[in-house]
Amino acid sequence: MRSIRTRLIPRALRTVPLVPVVGAILLCFPPLRAQSHQAFPSPRSTSRSPDGQHVIHNVDYNTKEPYHRLLLEDTKTHTTRKLLTYERWVDVFWSPSGAEVMVDDHGGSDFENTYIYSVQDTSHRVDIGEEFRRQNPSGRLLFKKNDHVYVDGLGWVNETTVKIRLWGYGEHDPKGFERLLEYKLNGGIKITPE
């Protein structure tokens, strides 16, 4: 049986050492950001923070509601706290340091919301949809007059800022609307240019 090198690489390139070629190809791509993301439910039932100090466990209950629960474990103290119960599916995004976690709850066919938790105090969560309504009075109509509104967490921009896509449709916006937002952990939310 011929080696992979003789089967897949053209004869003219077989004499070129592969390591420098692969290295040159990799230099053409930007480095990947160290950001942890995990969707649940999935075959994988955990998500470890970038600093390794916390683990989110997804627990599925197939026969009773709520069908799913996220638990946060501190790996040093081995204590576990409930983070969130959810019905359909969620996306979990760790902040670069692992000090915060953003959970995007795809709760229904007509809504989605995003929450941010500090791993030090999970009893207090930031509800991004509520923050947008509170800080943008004109934006309240987007929630009140549209029957499909999605607050979609896209990821962390840096340690203190997350990117959010607010979109939907309904009576107020029959053709739909979309806003890109940035939320800063100090409480500031702003609409960003597309």
Across 76-101, average pLDDT: 94
How far is the C-alpha of 57 from the C-alpha of 73, rounded, in Å? 7
Q: Nearest-CA neighbor of 85 among 114, 100, 105?
A: 105
Whether the predicted pLDDT of 111 surpasses 60: yes
Q: How high does pLDDT run on average in the chain?
A: 82
Whether the predicted pLDDT of 101 surpasses 50: yes
pLDDT of residue 17: 53
Cα distances (angstroms) measured from residue 59 to each of 86, 124, 137, 187:
10, 21, 38, 31
Min mean pLDDT across 10-14, 71-75, 125-129 is at 10-14
Confidence (pTM)? 0.77
pLDDT of residue 137: 82
DSSP characters over 77-129: TTEEEEEEEESSEEEEEE-TTSSEEEEEEEEETTEEEEEEEETTEEEEEEEHH
Across 34-45, average pLDDT: 81
| Domain 4-192 of CATH type 1.10.3470 | no
Indicate the DSSP class of residue 57.
Answer: E
pLDDT of residue 32: 32
Across 47-55, average pLDDT: 94
